[in-house]
């Protein structure tokens, strides 16, 4: 097996690395091949994407409000003996606004695609909010097609230290937090769904309970 701190090969079963004194934890895999590659477990959690659920919720609420406004406002104007034409106009305007909002969410969902990228820059910002210090992490990604973009990660305290410049990652459709290609030097694993950084020995996220994308395939699939 391999030490995740100094990357030296050590004998199986040892508790401490003789080179850097790293303490191996029981129940964790230190097989380098198992920790390199994108996890096939993404197939198990694709329907649990928090980002996708939020978009679906916004779409439902947007169209529901549009229907209520289109019919409800004219009825309200009629019942209060106000101008029916004014009520119809107001209902159409409000319905159009919320319909546009819902349609925009559908468009964003359709344009969300799985892609590979490299982290070329990282920015961490701290803001004081009342008695709490909020941490915001932004990753600058260079995608395989050559385009670049900044990705804002909420709840960035854990992700700020988890991701590093030079990491090759994969953005999975429906999720915000990208998966690392090489996890062989990590003792933690981020949940791509909620962003909580878990101990590598966990198989499910301690926060939302979905399967962690911890182990790879043992093959360099998807590597750029």
State yes or no: pLDDT of 110 exceeds 60: yes
Q: What is the mean pLDDT of residues 19-47?
A: 77
Q: Considering the chain, what percentage of its residues have pLDDT values greater than 70? A: 84
- Distance of alpha carbon 2 from alpha carbon 88, whole angstroms: 70
b/e per residue 179-188 (b: at least 16 CB within 10 A): bbbbbbeebe
132-143 and 115-129: which strand pairing? antiparallel
pLDDT score recorded for residue 6: 67
Q: What is the mean pLDDT of residues 54-74?
A: 85
Q: What is the mean pLDDT of residues 48-65?
A: 73
Among 73, 54, 75, 55, residue whose Cα is nearest residue 65: 73
**Token pair for 158:** 């854990």
The mean predicted confidence, pLDDT, of the chain is 82
> Which residue has better confidence, 126 or 221?
126
**Ranges of H-type helices in the chain:** 42-45, 50-79, 84-111, 156-162
Neighbours of 114 (CB within 10 A): 14
- What's the pLDDT tens digit per position in 170-215? 999 888 899 999 888 888 899 998 889 998 878 889 988 888 998 7
pLDDT score recorded for residue 9: 78
């Amino acid at each position: 097996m391999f030490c995740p701190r100094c990357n030296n090969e050590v004998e199986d079963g040892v508790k401490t690395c003789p080179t850097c004194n790293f303490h191996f934890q029981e129940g964790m895999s230190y097989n380098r091949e198992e920790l390199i590659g994108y996890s096939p477990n993404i197939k198990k959690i694709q329907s649990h994407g928090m980002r996708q659920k939020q978009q679906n919720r916004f779409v439902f609420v947007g169209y529901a409000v549009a229907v209520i406004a289109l019919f409800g406002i004219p009825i309200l104007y009629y019942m209060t003996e106000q101008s029916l034409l004014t009520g119809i106009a107001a209902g159409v305007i409000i319905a159009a606004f919320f319909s546009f909002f819902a349609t925009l969410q559908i468009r964003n969902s359709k344009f969300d695609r799985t892609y590979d990228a490299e982290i070329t820059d990282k920015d961490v910002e701290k803001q004081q909010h009342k008695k709490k210090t909020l941490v915001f992490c932004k990753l600058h990604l260079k995608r395989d097609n050559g385009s670049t973009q900044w990705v804002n990660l909420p709840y960035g305290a854990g992700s700020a230290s988890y991701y590093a410049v030079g990491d090759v990652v994969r953005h999975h459709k429906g999720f915000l937090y990208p998966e690392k290609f090489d996890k062989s030097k990590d003792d933690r694993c981020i949940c791509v769904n909620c962003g909580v950084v878990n101990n590598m020995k966990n198989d499910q996220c301690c926060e939302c309970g979905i399967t962690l994308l911890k182990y790879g395939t043992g093959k360099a699939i998807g590597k750029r």
